[in-house]
Structure 1
Amino acid sequence: MTIATLRSAFLAAFLAFIALHGAGPTADKSRYTLFNPTPTSLLRDLSTDRPDQTESPYTVDAGHWQLEMDFINYTFDRNAGTRTAAFNIAPINLKLGLTDRADLQFIFDNYSRERVRTAGVTTTTRDWGDLTLRLKINFWGNDGGDTAFALMPFVKLPLRLGDAGNDLVEGGLIVPLAFNLPHGCGLGVMTELDWLADDTGRHRRANWLNSVTVSRDLTKKLGGYVELVASITNERGAPWICQIDLGLTYAVFENVQLDAGCNIGLTRAAPDLQPFLGLSVRY
């Protein structure tokens, strides 16, 4: 079965489900905008795109900012005699609520360093990352109902501040869907199609990523999740990547959340371990 067949089957089932499940009743906050912010008394519960890889369909309330970041994340991988160790310091996602149903996101990878050792030779690269712009548009479920759905187109803009990166514009579309389940549980599914440059930089390839995450409230402030993520490209001979992700979130205050977790590779092409520690703040 080809990637095109898999993608078509998944999207057909996904869209069929959407057609059968509408949103429940929602509060009308449509009059609030970037220049007429939503009153703090009407803010929806804090919802973040981190720490799991499955994005949230919920947007930041109009006229408010939300900062999501890793304090640090680390990647370790050992494969076919090559050992890779990398860390990224304080990558951020800064969100701005434009309307009640849309927010604009500025993602900056910040400083990273990667060290690769193979055949006794070590190579180190340093980079300040690129800028990614994302626009999240919620179609239903922002303020009520058992499901929520959004579309999130994005574009990566090269900043050329370091050794890594391909210095090319890339983009794609993210499609997240969330379900509120009984007993403090939640289910999130996401499909993402990326249009990326190949290793030569002269051609483009499609990368298709799918994920499913299950979360549960463990206490009033503490939550946990388990997630499965898989991605594949249409490039000939490219390996399949699959990870299982585990993590915890802790609500310090109504608008402040800490998180920690680890992404674990299940296939040879996936990184072996990716531990992280992060923070989300809304204001």
Structure 2
Amino acid sequence: MTARIALLLLSLALFPATAHAQLRDLCPERPGLDTPPCIVDKGHFQIEMGLVDVTRDQTAERRSTTITLGDAELRYGLDNRTEIRASWASYSWRRDLDRLGGGRNHISGIGDLSLGLKHALLNPAGDALSLAIAPAITLPTGSHAVSDGSWSASFQLPFSYALSESLSLIATPEIDAAADGNGHGRHLAYGSAGGLSADLGEKWNASLEMQIIRDRDPDDPSTQALSSVSLAFKPAGTVMLDAGANLGLNRATPDAEVYIGISRRF
């Protein structure tokens, strides 16, 4: 069933685009670390899917590899300023290698379901100076091995400002009620992503970003720091392909992550 849902979403994303008059520019929430403040046009759906995502992390004691397939988000425009969103990872697989003892451990399963809303306070098209609010809740619907084990919630304040016709400043401050690592209860997490987004002609866009998140898990408090580079190509007005890489900047952050994906409005 999981594979069928993922294939259905992928087929919709790849379905030939048709022309839509007087719609805003396509503005997916992927790739990159930031959430853009733009809103999907009223009455339209948008599918954004990570086709393959690979994360690698290594310490003196352990090496982990995580592969996620079909990390999908569905967005729908309720009105000119508001959209609803649902995101779900259809399949995740992780292998842990004990570098000291040589033991191996594998886990896999489907991810948790997140439901959210985004409302534009300024410029829902995402141009000029744009600002939005984006609350969300994550439900522990995934497989036991990969689920957070408890509900969590987040509140983001997506922001963008056009520095020129082709260059924009982007930022996404957030505060979370994050699930504890043991799956029982919640704790405070907060931080922000930010960076620059540049249009490279009519069809290409590149972004450079950083993110710092302070996670106050009672059992394992940490501060994660990421840098990110991403590239997007828009072959048609309603379709975007993307690729990106994230690099951890400290020991609390996974070493590296690479991914490719596709977004489609219909």
TM-score range, shorter chain: 0.7 to 0.9
Is the contact between residue 196 and residue 205 of structure 1 (CA under 8 Å) also seen in structure 2?
Answer: yes
Of stretches 139-148 and 272-281 in structure 1, the one that deviates more from structure 2 is 139-148
Is the contact between residue 73 and residue 87 of structure 1 (CA under 8 Å) also seen in structure 2?
Answer: yes
1:104 equivalent in alignment to 2:84: yes
1:89 equivalent in alignment to 2:69: yes
Match of 1:265 in 2: 248
Match of 1:220 in 2: 202
1:155 equivalent in alignment to 2:137: yes
Q: 1:188 aligns with which of 147, 157, 170?
A: 170
TM-superposed deviation, 1:162: 4.6
Which letter does structure 2 place at the counterpart of 1:131? L
1:130 equivalent in alignment to 2:112: yes
Of stretches 122-131 and 232-241 in structure 1, the one that deviates more from structure 2 is 232-241
Q: 1:69 aligns with which of 29, 36, 49?
A: 49
Structure whose CA Rg is larger: 1
Q: 1:145 to 1:110 in 2, by over 3 A?
A: closer
1:56 equivalent in alignment to 2:56: no
Match of 2:6 in 1: none
- CA deviations on 1:114-144 (whole Å, 9 max, x unpaired) are 0011131111110101110010011111247
Is the contact between residue 129 and residue 162 of structure 1 (CA under 8 Å) also seen in structure 2?
Answer: no
Q: 1:254 to 1:145 in 2, by over 3 A?
A: closer
TM-superposed deviation, 1:69: 0.9
Which letter does structure 2 place at the counterpart of 1:253? A
Q: 1:206 to 1:66 in 2, by over 3 A?
A: same
State the percentage of identical aligned residues. Answer: 27
Match of 2:121 in 1: 139
TM-superposed deviation, 1:247: 1.1
Match of 1:202 in 2: 184
Which letter does structure 2 place at the counterpart of 1:136? K
Number of residue pairs aligned between Structure 1 and Structure 2 = 245
Q: Please give the alpha-carbon distance, in whole angstroms, between the structure 1 residues aligned to 2:243 and 2:126.
A: 28
Partner secondary structure for residue 40 of structure 1 = coil
Q: 1:249 to 1:148 in 2, by over 3 A?
A: same
TM-score, normalization: structure 2? 0.88
Q: 1:41 to 1:273 in 2, by over 3 A?
A: same
Q: Please give the alpha-carbon distance, in whole angstroms, between the structure 2 residues aligned to 1:50 and 1:213.
A: 14
Q: Please give the alpha-carbon distance, in whole angstroms, between the structure 2 residues aligned to 1:201 and 1:88.
A: 21
TM-superposed deviation, 1:243: 0.8
Partner secondary structure for residue 184 of structure 2 = coil
TM-superposed deviation, 1:172: 1.4
Partner secondary structure for residue 39 of structure 2 = coil
The equivalences for 1:8-87 within 5 A come to 40-87=20-67
TM-superposed deviation, 1:240: 1.5
TM-superposed deviation, 1:160: 3.7
Q: Please give the alpha-carbon distance, in whole angstroms, between the structure 2 residues aligned to 1:234 and 1:192.
A: 14
Which letter does structure 2 place at the counterpart of 1:76? R
TM-superposed deviation, 1:202: 3.2
Output the aligned Cα RMSD: 1.6
> Which runs of 5 or more residues in structure 2 are unaligned?
1-18
Q: Please give the alpha-carbon distance, in whole angstroms, between the structure 2 residues aligned to 1:151 and 1:190.
A: 10
Q: Please give the alpha-carbon distance, in whole angstroms, between the structure 2 residues aligned to 1:145 and 1:108.
A: 28
Q: Please give the alpha-carbon distance, in whole angstroms, between the structure 2 residues aligned to 1:163 and 1:260.
A: 28
1:276 equivalent in alignment to 2:259: yes
Of stretches 165-174 and 48-57 in structure 1, the one that deviates more from structure 2 is 165-174
Choose between structure 1 and 2 for higher RCO, CA contacts under 8 A separated by at least 6 residues: 2
TM-superposed deviation, 1:201: 3.1
Q: Please give the alpha-carbon distance, in whole angstroms, between the structure 1 residues aligned to 2:82 and 2:223.
A: 33
Q: Please give the alpha-carbon distance, in whole angstroms, between the structure 1 residues aligned to 2:40 and 2:235.
A: 19
- CA deviations on 1:45-72 (whole Å, 9 max, x unpaired) are 1111110110011110110000111110
Which letter does structure 2 place at the counterpart of 1:117? L
